[in-house]
Amino acid sequence: MQSRELARLAARAAVDKKAIDVVILDVANQTVVTDFFVICSGNSRPQVQAIVENIEEKLSEAGVKPQHSEGYERAQWVLLDYGSFVVHVFMQREREFYNLERLWGDAEVVEV
């Protein structure tokens, strides 16, 4: 599976857990770090953790594990780094504060 399809799989797994405003940004032309950002948010710590767990489960079933993850315990901003794509799961307040969509405003939005 290519990174675009894996990013979509992660986004759909977030949607399955009622994530808010799920967005995929193609940042390949703006950074060498990764090709896609999957950005979403939840309303509570348990919901953020459930979103993260579902993403990890669905991607694991596809044979993909994160290279790095952080933030799960606090569940304010959880980052899952899969190399060619990075998943950001925020609490709504933190998402509004960091506003990655604005920072990467030139990125193409990919359909979930």
Domains of the chain: 3-110 (3.30.460.10)
CA–CA distance, 94 with 87 (Å, rounded to integer):
15
Q: What is the pLDDT of residues 4-61, one digit of tens each?
A: 999 999 999 999 999 999 999 999 999 989 999 999 999 999 999 999 999 999 999 9
Whether the predicted pLDDT of 93 surpasses 90: yes
Task: Say what the pLDDT of residue 108 is.
Answer: 86
